[in-house]
Amino acid sequence: MDTIIGYLNNMFGSLPKTEQMAMLKQELLGNMEEKYYELKHEGKSENEAVGIVISEFGNIDELVSELGLGEVRKEEGLSMLPMLDELAVEGFIAAKKRSGLLVGWGVGLIMLGAALLILISGLGENGFMGNVFSEDAMSMIGLIPLLLLLGPAIALFIYSGTKMEKYKYMESGFSLPYPLEAYIEQRQSAFAATYTLSLIMGVCLCVLSPIAIFVSSAFGDEYISYGVAVLLIIVAVAVFLFVYYGNIRGTYQRLLKTGDFSEEKQEEKKEEDRIVGAVAAIIWPLVTCVFLVSGFVFDQWEINWIVFPLTGILFGVFSSVYNMFKKKDAA
Amino acid sequence: MISSDVIRGYNDTMILYMLLDGESYGYEISKNIRKLSEEKYIMKETTLYSAFTRLEKNGYIDSFYLDETFGKRRTYYRITPQGLAYYRAKCEEWQITQEVINKFIKEL
């Protein structure tokens, strides 16, 4: 029944909201409702009943022309938001999926680079390459794969960003024809199980990843760095799952304007971003100044880096406390 | 299934016929049309309501509200004397139309 109400709302969405219209809509809804319950009573399934009722609705333009609304509709009825068609939606979903895959690989590559860095410097510490390179040289060599992987990763980020440029117009709002919305909803609910599975797998991988360290430390302390490398690779797989499937979920939410992309959330976010962004713009340069001054003037290089993680944590606390108070005020 | 183009000129006639025996409301009328046509013609919701609007504007029918059980309000329609005259005229028109068209119909 909700589908029918949604369909009717959508049909009337672009028509002027007068009392006459409201009554006509109510009347049509009453008829459709009666037809729906009769069909159900005859033993039709939910989908069949809804399908028949909607297919026998007809064409709203017929009513519009009879009511002499043609002109009104053209002037103010149709909203200015671009209407997406099936092609645009399919294109957007495919593009988002591809860009999610690219970003997922990018993040994965960076983590792989970090894992290799630790692995190579671990090899160095253990003197495996001692006859060729010194320990210091090994930790420098470790940076090479990290940097080599960082390059393609950033290229992937930029490339996927430019690919999405085409769909930038969607940020300023869009509207969907009803059947398409219903179709996307269907796909979203079909995807829900996959998403949950990927989430569970990702979390399990993260939870289990420290096992690599325990196992390696059982062989001796000098093997711990290999454990860390394995841990990072496991986490990289988990992060890939989060990024890739989370992105697909985000695509549906964006199209249906639900979850993080609902209108009120968007408003809230804009406000939050503004305040938190303003504070960040002051705090981070200030912290950098403290870092540089304490380093150059007081020569505290070995300890002063702590200001960054410390500020990061404090800033995180600030923004969540700020959001909490904000929500309280709103409530 | 009959195409809506062919039948367009007679939707109003069908609705008026349904009101000859007394007042009725939207769904009942469309259900009876469907039944009477042996499921060969299903009048779309929007066709029905644009016909109501048109007929009422021309004074062929008038509408009133009746409260149903559960506090639901429904619009009922009844035929007016002008509506009855219009119906008769349409019937005559159809007789002639039918005669004429029939002259051009033969089985092959």
pLDDT of residue B32: 93
Residue positions counted in chain A: 331
pLDDT (mean) for A78-84: 64
CB atoms within 10 A of CB B23: 15
pLDDT of residue A41: 92
> Are residues A70 and A104 both part of a single domain?
no
Q: At which of A261, A292, A318 does a domain end? A: A261
Q: How far is A33 from chain B (nearest CA, A)?
A: 10
What are the pLDDT digits (tens) for A211-225?
888 888 888 877 888
**A27 has a chain B CB within 8 A of its CB:** yes
> Are residues A250 and A329 both part of a single domain?
no
What are the pLDDT digits (tens) for A258-309?
777 776 666 666 666 777 777 777 887 788 888 788 877 777 777 777 787 7
Contacts of B75 in chain A (CB under 8 A): 23, 27
Q: How confident is the model at residue A324 (pLDDT cuts 50, 70, 90)?
A: confident
Higher model confidence: residue A127 or residue A255?
A: A255
> Are residues A186 and A239 both part of a single domain?
yes
Cα B1 to the center of its chain, rounded Å:
17
Yes or no, beta carbons of A63 and B46 under 8 Å apart: yes
Is pLDDT of B67 > 80? Answer: no
> Are residues A326 and A241 both part of a single domain?
no
Q: Residue A254: what residue type?
A: R
Higher model confidence: residue B3 or residue A19?
A: A19
Higher model confidence: residue A84 or residue B105?
A: B105
Contacts of A25 in chain B (CB under 8 A): none
Is pLDDT of A331 > 60? Answer: no
Task: Tell me the domains of chain B and their CATH numbers.
Answer: 4-102 (1.10.10.10)
> Are residues A147 and A236 both part of a single domain?
yes
> Are residues A288 and A320 both part of a single domain?
yes
Q: How far is B86 from chain A (nearest CA, A)?
A: 19
Q: How confident is the model at residue A256 (pLDDT cuts 50, 70, 90)?
A: confident
Q: How far is B31 from chain A (nearest CA, A)?
A: 9
Q: At which of A48, A77, A106 does a domain end? A: A77
> Are residues A210 and A310 both part of a single domain?
no
Q: Which residue of A has its CA nearest to B29?
A: A31
Q: Which residue of B has its CA nearest to A57?
A: B45
SS3 B60: coil
The residue segments making up the domain with residue A319 are 263-331
Q: At which of A202, A229, A261 does a domain end? A: A261
Q: Which residue of A has its CA nearest to B30?
A: A31
**B88 has a chain A CB within 8 A of its CB:** no
Query: What DSSP string runs through A80-112?
Result: SSPBP-HHHHHHHHHHHHHHHHHHHHHHHHHHH
pLDDT (mean) for B19-24: 91
**B44 has a chain A CB within 8 A of its CB:** yes
pLDDT (mean) for A193-198: 92
> Are residues A94 and A71 both part of a single domain?
no
pLDDT of residue A245: 92
**B64 has a chain A CB within 8 A of its CB:** no
What are the pLDDT digits (tens) for B81-104?
999 999 999 999 999 999 999 999
> Are residues A168 and A199 both part of a single domain?
yes
Contact B78, B62 (CB under 8 A): yes
What are the pLDDT digits (tens) for A96-137?
899 889 988 988 888 888 888 888 877 777 766 666 677 677
pLDDT of residue B20: 92
ipTM of the complex: 0.85
Query: What DSSP string runs through A104-118?
Result: HHHHHHHHHHHHHHH
CB atoms within 10 A of CB A25: 16
> Are residues A127 and A257 both part of a single domain?
yes
Cα B81 to the center of its chain, rounded Å:
16
> Are residues A165 and A233 both part of a single domain?
yes
Domain count, chain A: 3
pLDDT of residue B96: 94
Contact A39, A52 (CB under 8 A): yes
Q: How far is B28 from chain A (nearest CA, A)?
A: 9
SS3 B65: strand
pLDDT of residue A72: 47
The A residues from 45 to 84 touching B (CB cutoff 8 Å) are 56-60, 62-63, 65-67
Contacts of A31 in chain B (CB under 8 A): 26-27, 30, 45
Is pLDDT of A13 > 80? Answer: no
Q: At a CB cut-off of 8 Å and minimum separation 6, what does B66 contact?
A: B25, B73, B74, B76
**Mean pLDDT (chain A, rounded):** 81
The count of C-alpha atoms lying within 13 angstroms of the C-alpha of B10, restricted to the half-sphere facing its C-beta, is 19
Yes or no, beta carbons of A27 and B54 under 8 Å apart: no
Contact A254, A261 (CB under 8 A): yes
> Are residues A116 and A252 both part of a single domain?
yes
